[in-house]
Chains A and B, each alone.
Chain A
Amino acid sequence: MSPHLTEGLYELLDQITGFIYPNEVEIHWSLLIVVYPYITGLVAGAFILASLVKVFNVKEVQPTYRLALLTALAFLLVAPFPLLLHLGRPERFYEILLTPNVTSAMAMFGFVYAWYLMAVLLLEIWFEYRRDLIVLGAQEGSWRGWVYRALSLFSTDVSDTALAFDRKAVRAITIIGIPSAFLLHGYVGFIFGSVKANPWWGSVLMPIVFLMSAIVSGIALVTFLYMVLTSLRREAIDMRCLDTITSYLFYAVIVDFSLEALDFIHRLYQSEESVKILGRLITHRLFMSLFVLQILIGMLIPLGILVLAKARNFSDDMKKLLYFTAAILIQLGIFSTRWNVVIGGQLFSKSFRGLMTYKMEVTGIEGLLVALAVLALPFIILAVLVRVLPTKRLGDEVGGAA
């Protein structure tokens, strides 16, 4: 066994307070497992925003529709990476698809993921972009043209009936997509929520809270990306769109906050056996990440900012600044939420008598640098995607090709 690992564990041993089962000294689900639900949450949230347009006919949000889809795709493609890197034996990952244990939520997630990627996201994007792909396939020459024609599956029909079919298809897929998105991220919540051994995780509310915070983070992300993209392209931003998105963001934050407050109040009131150690957990180990980052900076302050922006008649520039700030703070908050759930759940002993510590590595396969790379990757993929796939319907944009 590597001396480095032993050293690390001896250090952790010294920082235990109270009593823990001896095997619990090592924190098994590390930073990468915090990154993973954060990413799938963004996927679900971005998709829900997209569904506002197609299913709930919120026309104001249309300018962000394609961006939301591409964002969901970019993040979904990266989602398996933190899991793969975290496995003790990553070369055996295929077993989870080949011979899954049907009673395991984690195994079933592989199929939920595949379904969502193929039957929902890729299909919807294809139907949405088919016309543009055909147009671009005809316009572009050499290998680029080939790529576009291949992406359109060499389809050529751009008649009105065909396009009408595409629109209906998109709507139908989005309708299926909403519960699928719920399933995608709700499942992650279920993976934690079904663990009866851990009272911090094992709760009926867990999938719901996960999902709501996912929607918050997804909407906030698309807000952020929309503002960045229009700014980089030196385009005028659609303020009505932005105002509408942030309204939905506001509602989502209210619901999320209410759910988390409910969870907290419920636990405190019910006062089960675990309430003492959990109280010590949040005051001694999670104080900064919970009270300061998750609640204050991640929820209350953005909520205040959004209220301010809505209530007062600010200039567009001022509103953009406020929205931008709120979006970033919310991302920090939701990331802290994931941290508090994943890491927090492992910082107290199942004997309910002690607390452990998590030492985040910087280098190493599960360290900070790798986590940052994994978080950066979807943005890189998205940058490629928005170059290849236009975010506005061709022919709709004002002046110049996309």
Chain B
Amino acid sequence: MNKRDFLKGLIFFFPAGGVLSALAGAPAAKETEVQDAGPKGADAKGPGAKPYNSRDHYYGMGIEIGKCIGCSRCVEACKAENDVLRDPFFFRTWIERYVIKKEGEVTVESINVKSRASKEAVQEDADVLRTFFVPKLCNHCAHPPCVQVCPVGATFSTEDGVVLIDSNRCIGCRYCIQACPYGARYLDPRTKTADKCSFCYHRVRKGLLPACVEVCPTQARIFGDLRSKASRLVRFARMNKIHVLKPALNTEPKVYYAQMDGEVR
């Protein structure tokens, strides 16, 4: 092959490739600070409140399994707040019931999905060692596999630790749904784009709590800012031994479970 042509080709392609990758790499997770529309309701931040700087916050959720009564108020509130379809196939958050028996048999069911097999309530059984409810939702991982695999960057992490989905860019390839180890994502059949829990970002930014945390009757869910000086979540993490789901996958989830049983997946 003609060496000169080969070299000419190289000289042409490498800068082009360099330019391409430089331009692709430039807008790296730099989020413009968005001013709030102003304080609303009783959560006013006070006069002269400074604009929201997402670098000052880092949100997470704490769940105390021993307190959950499996009433599903959270599931209902989430569906109402976030306009999620009512059918039992699309959940931003759901509750699982675990029943662990003496011989090691473990039965799990989601109490929000009424299939033929599900029962209304677990009755007593002398063979049951432990039984409890586990609320589940998107873990807003610090090292999210869904963000890693999205081909168009439609799902991304904000600087305040919330993983959001840009539904105007999502192409509906569903790679993120495959990559999520927790089953937190689903495809919204109305928009044909991926959807999931957003930590009620639209509420949190206004100083409100996520809908599920708001309605929980036993305060089994705690929402907090890990960078705040006085935070319910920080105390939660101090007073409880914390577990996360599937730690071996190194997704660094930010939903922290207290009193989580080893059988919980």
Question: Which A residues form the contact surface with B (CB < 8 A)?
Answer: 1-2, 5-6, 9, 13-14, 16, 19-26, 28-29, 83, 86-90, 92-93, 95-96, 99-107, 110, 165, 168-169, 172, 191, 194-198, 346, 349-353
Interface pair A28/B183, CB less than 8 Å apart: no
Interface residues of B (CB under 8 A from A): 1-2, 21, 24-25, 85, 87-91, 94, 96, 106-110, 112-113, 115-116, 136, 145, 147-153, 169-175, 177-187, 189-193, 249, 265
Given contacts A95-B171, A196-B145, 5 further A-B contacts (CB under 8 A): A1-B87, A28-B177, A29-B178, A87-B172, A195-B179
Contact A28 B149, beta carbon cutoff 8 Å: no
B190 touches A23 (CB 8 A): no
A88 with B87: CB separation less than 8 A: no
Please, how many angstroms separate the alpha-carbon atoms of A134 and B170 in the complex?
A: 47
A23 & B89 in contact (Cβ 8 Å cutoff)? yes
Residues of A within 8 A of B25 (CB): 102
- Residues A1 and B190 in contact, CB atoms below 8 Å apart: yes
Contact flag A100-B110 (CB < 8 Å), given A5-B189, A28-B178: no
- Closest Cβ–Cβ distance, residue A108 to chain B (whole Å): 8
Shortest Cβ gap from A137 to chain B (Å): 24
Do A1 and B183 have beta carbons less than 8 Å apart? no
Contact B265 A352 (CB under 8 A): yes
A302, chain B: closest CB distance, angstroms: 31
**CA of A95 to CA of B108, assembled, Å:** 40
Once A104-B150, A197-B181 are accepted as A-B contacts, the answer to whether A22 and B173 lie under 8 Å apart by CB is no
Q: How far is the CB of A188 from chain B (nearest CB, A)?
A: 13
- Whether B107 lies near A1 (C-beta < 8 A) is no
Out of A88, A90, A102, A349, name the residue touching B24 (CB < 8 Å).
A102
Show 15 A/B contacts (Cβ-Cβ < 8 Å), sorted by A.
Answer: A16-B115, A23-B89, A23-B91, A29-B178, A88-B171, A88-B187, A88-B191, A89-B193, A100-B153, A104-B151, A106-B149, A106-B151, A169-B1, A195-B145, A197-B249
Q: Are A88 and B108 in contact (CB under 8 A)?
A: no
- Neighbour of B170 across the interface among A88, A90, A106, CB < 8 A: A88
CB distance from A284 to the nearest CB of B (A): 16
Contact partner of A197 (CB less than 8 A), chosen from B88, B89, B145, B174, is B145
Taking A5-B189, A107-B152, A197-B249 as contacts, is the C-beta distance between A28 and B179 under 8 angstroms? no
Q: A351 vs B183: C-alpha distance in the bound complex, in angstroms?
A: 9
Q: How far is B108's CA from A353's CA once the two chains are assembled, in angstroms?
A: 8
Q: Across the interface, do A101 and B150 meet the contact criterion of CB distance under 8 Å?
A: yes
Residue of A13, A22, A29, A197 contacting most chain B CB atoms (<10 Å): A22
Q: Is the CB of B172 within 8 A of A95?
A: no
Which residue of B2, B94, B182 is within 8 Å of A350 (Cβ)?
B182
Residues of B with C-beta under 8 A to A172:
1
Of A13, A95, A96, which is within 8 A of B115 by CB? Answer: A13
- From B110, which residue of chain A is reached at the shortest CB distance? A22
- Contact of A101 with B192 in the complex, beta carbons under 8 Å: no
Q: From known contacts A28-B177, A104-B150, A105-B149, infer whether A13 and B183 are also in contact, taking CB-CB under 8 Å.
A: no
| Closest 5 pairs between A and B when the two form their complex, measured CB to CB | A88-B172, A21-B183, A88-B192, A197-B181, A107-B151
Interchain CB contact (< 8 A) of B181 among A23, A25, A196, A353: A196
A198 & B173 in contact (Cβ 8 Å cutoff): no
Q: A21-B183, A351-B265 are in contact. Are A101 and B152 (CB under 8 A)?
A: yes
Q: Which residues of B contact A349 (CB under 8 A)?
A: 183
Kindly state the separation between the CA atoms of A26 and B194 in the bound complex, as whole angstroms: 13
**Which of B24, B96, B181 is in CB contact (< 8 Å) with A100?**
B24
How far, in angstroms, from A9 to B85 measured CA to CA in the complex?
13
Residues of A within 8 A of B185 (CB): 23
Q: How far is the CB of A52 from chain B (nearest CB, A)?
A: 21
User: Given A88-B171, A101-B150, A349-B183, are A21 and B110 also a contact pair (CB < 8 Å)?
Assistant: yes
Instruction: Tell whether, in the assembled complex, residue A23 and residue B265 are in contact, meaning their CB atoms are under 8 Å apart.
Output: no
A99 and B89 contact, Cβ closer than 8 Å, known pairs A88-B193, A92-B169: no
Kindly provide the distance from the CB of A87 to the nearest chain B CB, expressed in whole angstroms. Answer: 5
In contact, A25 and B249 (Cβ under 8 angstroms): no
A19 touches B108 (CB 8 A): yes
**CB <8 Å contact, A96 and B174:** no
Q: How far is the CA of A288 from the CA of B238 in the complex (A)?
A: 53
> Nearest-CB distance from B100 to chain A (Å)?
13
For residue B88, which residue of chain A has the nearest CB? Answer: A22
A29 to B107: give the CA distance in the assembly, Å.
Answer: 28
Q: Which one of B89, B107, B110, B249 has the highest number of Cβ atoms from chain A below 10 Å of its Cβ?
A: B89
CB < 8 Å: which of B85, B88, B173 contacts A106? B173
* B89–chain A nearest beta-carbon distance, Å: 5
| Nearest residue, chain A, Cβ from B186 | A23
Give Cα A169 to B6, complex, Å: 11
Q: B85 to chain A: which residues have CB within 8 Å?
A: 1
Q: A101-B151, A195-B178 are in contact. Are A96 and B171 (CB under 8 A)?
A: yes
For residue A197, which residues in chain B have a CB less than 8 angstroms away from its CB? 145, 178-181, 249
- The answer to whether B152 and A165 touch across the interface, beta carbons within 8 angstroms, is no
How distant is A17 from chain B, measured CB to nearest CB, in Å?
A: 9
